[in-house]
Amino acid sequence: MRNCGSNCRRSVKFVTVCRLRVTLFPVPKTLVINEIYLSLQGESTFAGLPCIFVRLTACNLRCSYCDTAYSFTEGKKQEIQEVRAEVNRLAEPFAAKTDARLPLVELTGGEPLLQKDSLSLMKALCDDGFTVLLETSGAHDISAVDARVRRIMDLKCPSSGEESRNRWQNLEHLKGTDEIKFVLGTHEDYEWAKAKITEHNLAAICPLLLSWVHPLAPEQQDKSLKPVPPGQTPISRQELAERIIADSLPVRFQVQLHKIIWAPEQRGV
């Protein structure tokens, strides 16, 4: 092999200078953010509490019932410190009124874990003293998330059209402070969730949420969403509640509180 001589030495020098510049002037960490707003937490064991939502842009799934398709592409690049400052600004009015650190802060999406710097944001918000929640699809590795974060992880049921994306290895990383959420729209989803709860002894890991799918408003029905697979029978809210009781399932039934308080298609609530 021929030695390229002085060119190589020049590139070594160039790389060294670049490294020095990166060390002296680190590139700020950024995220693509869809929206940040203060509202009430509508789901999980934290439902009803004031919560600041940080919605991150992009998701690589297309669940049939997704009500935040606008977050797939809409967003603006922001430095982590800007996001952190905005969260602290929104939280300021609560500061003198409670010992417990409210509001909560939730990273949601889209899928927050698609952006690696979301890990740094969660750590920074924990350092600021917030109770930080992460809503994740369950399709990505959750093991690197700060241990202080409450991870609310979906297990995608058949009617989502995304069942094959469940990353089952995540179960071994869940703790008692995390939560597993099943979003159910059909009787087949219910039977599937019930079977998985038994098969993996999920109730021994953390709280389990069974969330009834609120039908999408026409403007929320993005064309890219997966269709509900054939052979599925819709389940009503009442039927779901009654099945849980009849089967003595150790779960928490939930509806999306924000869709009862505000119009189901309203953003920023």
Considering the complex, what minimum distance in angstroms separates the CB of residue 184 from ligand SF4? Answer: 13
Q: How far apart are the first and last CA of the chain?
A: 64
Question: Residue 89 and residue 86: Cα distance in Å, rounded?
Answer: 5
| Residues in 208-237 at the binding interface with ligand SF4, rule: CB under 6 A | none
Residue 159 has phi, psi (to 5 degrees) of: -70, -10
Query: Quick check: 144 and 150 in contact, CB under 8 A?
Result: no
Residues 6+ apart with CB under 8 A from 127: none
Considering the complex, what minimum distance in angstroms separates the CB of residue 258 from ligand SF4? Answer: 15
Task: Please tell me whether residue 91 binds ligand SF4 under the rule CB under 6 A.
Answer: no
Task: Please tell me whether residue 109 binds ligand SF4 under the rule CB under 6 A.
Answer: yes
Give the x-and-dash track for 133-172 against ligand SF4 (CB under 6 A).
----x-----------------------------------
Nearer to ligand SF4, 131 or 159 (CB): 159
Considering the complex, what minimum distance in angstroms separates the CB of residue 106 from ligand SF4? Answer: 13
Considering the complex, what minimum distance in angstroms separates the CB of residue 3 from ligand SF4? Answer: 52
Question: Residue 5 and residue 245: Cα distance in Å, rounded?
Answer: 77
Q: Which amino acid is at 192?
A: W
Nearer to ligand SF4, 54 or 91 (CB): 54
Instruction: Copy the structure tokens of residue 186.
Output: 């059909």
- Nearest-5° Cα angle at 105, 104 to 108: 135
Question: Residue 238 and residue 83: Cα distance in Å, rounded?
Answer: 40
Question: Residue 178 and residue 219: Cα distance in Å, rounded?
Answer: 32
| Residues in 120-139 at the binding interface with ligand SF4, rule: CB under 6 A | 137
Q: How many residues belong to the chain?
A: 269
Stretch that binds ligand SF4, among 36-44, 109-117, 187-195, 245-253 (CB under 6 A): 109-117
Helices 187-199 and 237-246, packing angle to 10 deg: 30
Count the site residues for ligand SF4 by CB under 6 A: 10
Considering the complex, what minimum distance in angstroms separates the CB of residue 222 from ligand SF4? Answer: 9
Among 106, 111, 178, 189, which residue interacts with ligand SF4 (rule: CB under 6 A)?
A: 111
Give the x-and-dash track for 46-85 against ligand SF4 (CB under 6 A).
-------------x-xxx--x-x-----------------
Task: Please tell me whether residue 113 binds ligand SF4 under the rule CB under 6 A.
Answer: no
Radius of gyration of the chain (CA): 22
Binding site for ligand SF4 (CB under 6 A): 59, 61-63, 66, 68, 109-111, 137
